[in-house]
Amino acid sequence: MILSFDGHSYRYECEKICRIFFPTEKIVFSDAPALSEDDPRAVRTIAKPTGANILFRCEAEIDGVYRSDGFYAARPEETDPAAFDAACEKLLAQPMLHVLSDITGVKPPWGVLTGVRPAKLMRRYIAQYGEAEAMRRFTGPLMVSKEKAALACRVALAENEIAATSADNSFSLYVSVPFCPTRCAYCSFVSHSVAQAKKLIPDYVRLLCKEIGQTADLARELGLRPETVYIGGGTPTSLSAEDLRVIADALNGSIDMKNVREFTVEAGRPDTVDREKLSVLKHAGVTRISINPQTFSDAVLERIGRRHTAAETIEKYQMARDMGFDDINMDLIAGLPGDTPEGFAATLDKAISLAPENITVHTLALKRSSELSTEDEASAAGRRDAAPYRASLTTYDLRHTTSEMLSYAAQALPAAGYAPYYLYRQSKSAGNLENVGWTKPGKACLYNVFMMEEIHSVLAVGGGAVTRLADPRGGRIERVYNFKYPYEYVGRFEEQSERKDAIRRFYE
């Protein structure tokens, strides 16, 4: 696909809009003033000042079908250059969405919104304009469906309650354990199998504990108060019980855990969970864990490379319950290869019957760094044959199948007493859909909200971890990156430690 720009430089946003319809298409950028004849798929975008107004227009020819749309709009009133560009991008996205929707027959439920955090935007609109006007802006200029706007509103209101509990000096600590027993077919995270990284693990754990201590010292120096601790990955429970004990001892020895309101550990892969590891976590003061089935279909589990059965998930879940864990999350994924709407409904019904405190419903994201891949999708004929990914589904099929799955979740979970509290989106997610955390009353994961909505700083330790520094008064966000891979983390630890000075400078 050729994507051309006339009179503007809003390449990033225009590409994002195209990705809604063609998530894996190779896109070539061009400044040509007309549609290209070198590719059967071409999109031309225009944003040109004309007196007091700006022309926003899109022309597209996709597999022989041509459409165009545009309008003149008054110049946005924003004086800040970044805010002005953001307003123009949203205006240009409207004719793009009209044109590409008309050609493909796809109606994106999130409209022109391409960002990760739609609930954060909804929170801002509610604060500025009130709930009714916020909803109007979502369903009007932003072209979001009524259902998704209502979802964003419910999540925003739930997040506001949690955000109000964070003080100016609050922070959360994220501990990265980027190891897994095996790599799942859909995974795009930086993680290494325990077998491959076995030699690295002793040094990794030792240096991770050192970084925990350094970070805790810095937080005390800056007068920061820990609210939540989250050990994620990877799969932290792919480590041995002794390694988990060492990390837990480092946390309890460095941080005043008595004041920590929530301590989460991802025990995501049931095949990594045993009684000894759960005992270590319980003794360490862990208050919340995840045991993630992803699906309760053994056939789908095998297809995505998970080395456990549905029965084993239930067994480990019950083991955790018997050992006193009273705050458990279960992750499910809609759109997995080989799954069906009926199969997903059965999975969700099973999860609900187990009554975990949280059920998080993710949408499969078609990341290039994962093993799953697919060609593109709807054409002028409504759909065309495409190279199948492992589920033998085209992206067109996957979009509608996944939408059915999420629609079922949106009905079944509230009926079972769960409410949405946490919402984010990923690029190249099936159907341009969303990931939603659902909770029983009073059991929302605080860390998820603090982190995703950038309510306070998240200080992160470990390989691939990203510290997000948030100014609670001004909305300023800065990031400090650890080395991505475990071998870099171990081999360049001292160099990496120097990066922590950016935290001190941010607060000073």
Among residues 239, 231, 249, the alpha carbon closest in space to that of 197 is found at 239
Can you point out the beta strands (E) in 63-204? 65-74, 170-177, 179-180, 192-193
For 505, the token pair is 């400078």
Q: Confirm whether pTM is higher than 0.85.
A: yes
**Residues 144 and 184 reside in one and the same domain:** no
Per the domain annotation, does 315 fall within a domain? no
Identify whether residues 418 and 494 lie together within a single domain.
no
3-state DSSP assignment of residue 102: helix
Q: Are residues 346 and 474 in the same domain?
A: no
Is 77's pLDDT higher than 70?
A: yes
Give the residue, 243 or 369, on which the prediction is more confident.
243
Q: Which helix (H) or strand (E) holds 42?
A: strand 41-50
The pLDDT confidence band at residue 369, using thresholds 50, 70 and 90, is very low
Residue 461 reports pLDDT greater than 60: yes
User: Domain boundary at 383, 406, 440, which?
Assistant: 440
pLDDT digits (tens, 9 = 90+) for 373-415: 443 333 333 333 333 333 334 565 788 899 999 999 999 999 9
H-helix or E-strand containing 145?
Answer: none
In a domain, 323, yes or no: no
The CATH code of the domain that includes 51 is 3.30.160
Task: Please give the average per-residue pLDDT across 116-127, as a whole number.
Answer: 96
Structure confidence at residue 365 (pLDDT): 84
Provide CB contacts within 8 A for 202, sequence distance 6+. none
* CA separation, residue 119 to residues 38, 43, 158, 199, 472 (Å): 40, 30, 10, 42, 18
How many helices and strands (H and E) does the chain possess? 16, 18
Q: Do 72 and 54 have their domain in common?
A: yes
Nearest to 344 by CA among 271, 446, 412: 412
Pairing of strands 41-50, 2-6: parallel
DSSP 245-258: HHHHHHHHHHS-GG
**15-51 pLDDT, tens digit each:** 999 989 988 789 999 998 888 778 899 999 999 999 8
pLDDT at 467: 97
Nearest by Cα to 118 from 349, 446, 436, 392: 436
Q: Give the pLDDT confidence score for residue 493 in this predicted structure.
A: 94
Tens of pLDDT, residue by residue over 241-271, are 999 999 999 999 999 898 899 999 999 899 9
pLDDT at 377: 35
Closest alpha carbon to 344 in 400, 402, 426, 425:
402
Instruction: Give the model's confidence band at 147: pLDDT under 50 very low, under 70 low, under 90 confident, else very high.
Output: very high
Could you write out the DSSP letters of every residue in 183-214?
--TT--S--EETTTTTTTHHHHHHHHHHHHHH
Determine the residue type at 71.
Answer: F
Q: Is residue 118 part of a domain?
A: yes
- One domain for residues 155 and 184: no
Minimum mean pLDDT among 172-176, 368-372, 377-381: which range? 377-381
pLDDT at site 189: 53
Res. 332 pLDDT band, cuts 50 70 90: very high
Do residues 262 and 447 make contact, with C-beta atoms less than 8 angstroms apart? yes
As a whole number of angstroms, the distance between CA 141 and CA 159 comes to 24
* HSE-CB of 241 using CA atoms within 13 angstroms: 11
- Comparing 245-249, 450-454, 499-503, the range with the smallest average pLDDT is 499-503
Q: Rounded distance, CA 405 to CA 403, Å?
A: 5
Mean pLDDT of 217-232: 97
- Tokens 């799955």 map to which residue? 405
Question: Looking at the domain assignment, is residue 312 inside a domain?
Answer: no
Domain encompassing residue 432 = 295-306+333-440
What ranges in 45-80 are assigned the alpha helix state H?
none
Looking at the fold, whether 374 and 476 belong to one and the same domain comes out as no
Query: Residue holding tokens 């298409």?
Result: 25
Mean per-residue pLDDT, 461-478: 91
Question: Is residue 319 assigned to a domain?
Answer: no
Please state, in angstroms and rounded to a whole number, the distance separating the CA atoms of residues 349 and 415.
11
Per residue in 265-313, pLDDT (tens digit) is 999 899 999 999 999 999 999 999 999 999 999 999 999 888 899 999 9
Percent of the chain with pLDDT over 90: 78
Contact 419, 439 (CB under 8 A): yes
Q: Pick the closest to residue 464 from 371, 334, 369 (CA basis).
A: 369
Determine how many CB atoms are found less than 10 A away from the CB of residue 290.
22
In a domain, 15, yes or no: yes
- The H or E element spanning position 354 is helix 341-354
Higher pLDDT residue, 193 or 479?
479
At residue 387, the pLDDT reads: 34
Whether 83 and 109 map to the same domain: the answer is no
Q: So what's the pLDDT on residue 272?
A: 94
Q: How far apart are CA 428 and CA 55, in angstroms?
A: 29
Question: Is residue 317 domain-resident?
Answer: no
Which residue from 464, 472, 459 is spatially nearest to 503, judged by alpha carbons? 459
Burial of 159 (0-12, 13-18, 19+ CB in 10 A): buried
> Has residue 348 got a pLDDT over 60?
yes
Q: Is residue 10 part of a domain?
A: yes
**What is the CB neighbour count within 10 angstroms for residue 86?**
15
219 shares a domain with 193 = yes
SS (HEC) of 437-467:
EEECCCCCCHHHHHHHCCCCEEEEECCCCEE
Nearest to 334 by CA among 427, 278, 380, 398: 398
Share of the chain above pLDDT 70, in %: 91
What is the rounded average pLDDT for all residues in the chain? 90
Residue 429 is predicted with a pLDDT of: 82
Q: Please report the pLDDT score of residue 375 as a whole number.
A: 36
Write the CA distances from 122 to 91, 97, 207, 221, 330, integer angstroms: 18, 21, 40, 35, 26
d(CA 131, CA 1) in angstroms, rounded, equals 39
Q: Can you read off the two tokens belonging to residue 70?
A: 């545009």
Give the span between the Cα atoms of 319 and 443, in whole angstroms. Answer: 20
Q: How are beta strands 53-62 and 41-50 bridged, if at all?
A: antiparallel
Q: Which of 487, 392, 393, 455 is nearest to 160 (CA)?
A: 455
What pLDDT, on the 0 to 100 scale, is given for residue 117? 95
Q: Which residue shows structure tokens 């990955």?
A: 233
125-139, 437-451, 477-491: which range is least confident on average? 477-491
d(CA 335, CA 89): 30
- In sequence order, the β-bridge partners of residue 419 are 439
Residues 447, 435 within the same domain: no
Q: Do 479 and 430 fall within a single domain?
A: no
pLDDT at 430: 78
**One domain, residues 10 and 141:** no
Same domain, 226 and 206: yes
Identify the bridge partners of residue 174 per DSSP, sorted by sequence position. Answer: 230, 460
Count of the separate structural domains present in the chain: 4
What is the mean predicted confidence (pLDDT) over 339-362? 97
Q: Return d(Cα 461, Cα 214) in angstroms, integer.
A: 10
Q: Which of 425, 440, 455 is the last residue of a domain?
A: 440
Q: Please compute the mean of the pLDDT values over residues 50-59 and round it to a whole number.
A: 95
